[in-house]
């Protein structure tokens, strides 16, 4: 089981083998953490995403899946893009959110990454309640079979940090 660390701040300022992006299925960028990663990482990341779309993900990356690209100018070797589920009050999509964390760690394992920084996937634009998103994130990483040694959750504000702190 990896060691869990909580940090409050901007994930694009982190040093890690891999930084996880809360992307959308188009892989072509967006707002929130996705926008910040592309802005700070530079055009190389978008270029790599475009190539992946053309070669493998013509219909988009499925919700719950993950794929890696270069990290461009970020202080990391890779960005792992994953697509969180949009929150639904009427349908339990928890398994898809858990899958984002599991698949990201599986991709990290394939790459040989030992340290991975995660944002709180789906808890922004996609509307997932923070406490539940934190619970799923921590439980999934704690239960993951992975060679990743260091998992860092990078929480943008104090509210998110506190929600994660309740879970560890």
CB-based contact 79:45 (threshold 8 Å): yes
Q: Does 119 bind ligand AR6 (CB under 6 A)?
A: yes
121 phi and psi, to 5 degrees?
A: -55, 140
Smallest distance, Å, CB 66 to ligand AR6? 13
Among 4, 7, 32, 60, which residue interacts with ligand AR6 (rule: CB under 6 A)? 32
In the complex with ligand AR6, the residue whose CB is nearer, 2 or 119, is: 119
Smallest distance, Å, CB 110 to ligand AR6? 22
**C-alpha dihedral sign at 120, 122, 123, 124:** positive
Residue 70's SS3 state is strand
Catalytic-residue membership of 150: no
d(CA 70, CA 40): 13
Marked catalytic residue, from 10, 17, 34, 92: 34
Q: Does 116 bind ligand AR6 (CB under 6 A)?
A: no
CB-based contact 100:64 (threshold 8 Å): yes
Would you tell me which residues interact with ligand AR6 (CB under 6 A)? 10-12, 22-24, 30-34, 36, 84, 119-126, 154, 156, 160
Residues assigned a catalytic role: 34
């Amino acid at each position: 089981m990896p060691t869990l660390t909580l940090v409050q701040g901007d994930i694009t300022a982190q040093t890690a083998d891999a930084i996880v992006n809360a992307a959308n299925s188009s892989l072509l960028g967006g707002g929130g953490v996705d926008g910040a990663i592309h802005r700070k990482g530079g055009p190389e990341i978008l270029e790599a995403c475009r190539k992946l779309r053309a070669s493998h993900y013509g219909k988009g990356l499925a919700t719950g899946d993950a794929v890696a690209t270069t990290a461009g100018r970020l202080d990391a070797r890779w960005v792992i893009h994953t697509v969180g589920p949009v929150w639904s009050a009427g349908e339990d999509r928890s398994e898809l959110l858990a899958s984002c964390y599991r698949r990201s760690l599986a991709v990290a394992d394939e790459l040989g990454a030992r340290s991975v920084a995660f944002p709180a996937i789906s808890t922004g634009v996609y509307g997932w309640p923070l406490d539940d998103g934190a619970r799923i994130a921590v439980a999934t990483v704690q239960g993951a079979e992975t060679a990743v040694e260091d998992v860092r959750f990078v929480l943008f504000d104090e509210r998110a940090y506190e929600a994660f702190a309740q879970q560890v």
